[in-house]
Homo-oligomer: A and B are copies of this chain.
Amino acid sequence: MSMKHRKLFAAFLLSTSIILSGIAMAAGRDNPKPLIIQEQGSFAVGGTVVKHPGTYDNRNFNNWNPIPEGQTYHGDHAYVFYQIPVKARKLPLVFLHGAGQSSKTWESTPDGREGFQNIFLRRQFGVYLIDQPRRGKAGRSTVATAIDPTPNEQMWYDIFRVGLWPDYFPNVQFPRDAESLNQYFRQMTPNTGPFDLELVSATTAELFDKTGPGILVTHSQGGLPGWYAGIKNTNIKAVVAYEPGSYVFPEGELPEPMPSLTGDLSGRAVPVDDFMKLTKIPIVLYFGDNIPEEPSEQLGAENWRVRLQLGRKFVDTVNKYGGDATLVELPKIGIYGNTHFPFSDLNNVQIADLLSDWMKEKGIDKYK
């Protein structure tokens, strides 16, 4: 938002001391069985160190104004919170969020039910939740940025396919109370530095040096760095992508950019040898409902129409090279109303069941 916009801004602040009734308690009630966690913790992974030239002088400070001479700045790392249940399965799940989100994506749902973090802990998977570099608790960026509170939530409501603002899609798997929408908007959190595909894919890949062999689960914008991470680290034994934003293709086989109302969607070309690494592991993509085949005048429909269609090409290309990629379009298997966040939608246990079944089918859900 420009300064001009901001000055025109007859912004009124609505106090939202809304009664957050019962959210904290909801998860427990639905799942009276306790989680039994062998260990949990958090750490930073990857990143760089900037060092300013000169010599730090302990006495050279001015109140709280930093004097950078000889000082360092650690940034561009990812932050990871992990929990390992007792009797865990061999391969943990590593979750990478999408644009404007953090690891919160995988925690409690907007209406306070359990998200994939808890659901898969209960199913005896180790769970690692990433805040990508320059997001959430991994906020230190080596690149300066401006954060601007531009009102844009109606756009996100449309793009996330909750409905066509202010309406909900008639079949939508999203709770319709005001407090759930309040929580949904508040789980967004800004970039504290520019989104950097290489950084996100590198830190995600590096995390798997720590976890050992595991399964990467991505969402949306996390999809593209997820494919690159799968190329970079053979400890990634499978990739699960919920509505990925884009895709890699072998050099020479990159599809033409796909025009849409939200811009031209392009994949990325990678060397054939790199692409081949994605043919060695099982891959599954899930897409929700209300995505049309034909061009639309709706923002969300239009945004995901091309990403779904490019996803089909990606899956076909992986399989053409001998890989094992599956694209699940939920409405085509009779599951309706899912938004861009199937893993936190009202039917997220059913969505988790699909993933469990797929992991079982691929033999990647075994115990140690």
Contacts and interface: CB of A to CB of B under 8 A. Distances in A.
A16 B145 contact: no
Contacts of A66: 1, 150-152, 155
A108 B185 contact: no
Contacts of A26: 41
Given A68-B152, A146-B146, A186 B28 contact: no
A280 interface: no
A139 B136 contact: yes
Contact of A39 (B31, B39, B47, B86): B31
Q: Give the number of copies in the complex.
A: 2
Interface in A102-120: 102-104, 107-108, 112, 114, 118
Contacts of A56: 154, 165
Contact of A151 (B20, B41, B50, B210): B50
A265 to B, nearest CB: 11
Interface string A70-99: 111111010101101010000000000000
Interface of A: 1, 5-6, 8-17, 20, 23-28, 31, 34-53, 56, 58-59, 61, 63-64, 66-68, 70-75, 77, 79, 81-82, 84, 86, 102-104, 107-108, 112, 114, 118, 131, 135-155, 158, 164-165, 182-183, 185-190, 192-193, 206, 209-211, 261-263, 297-299
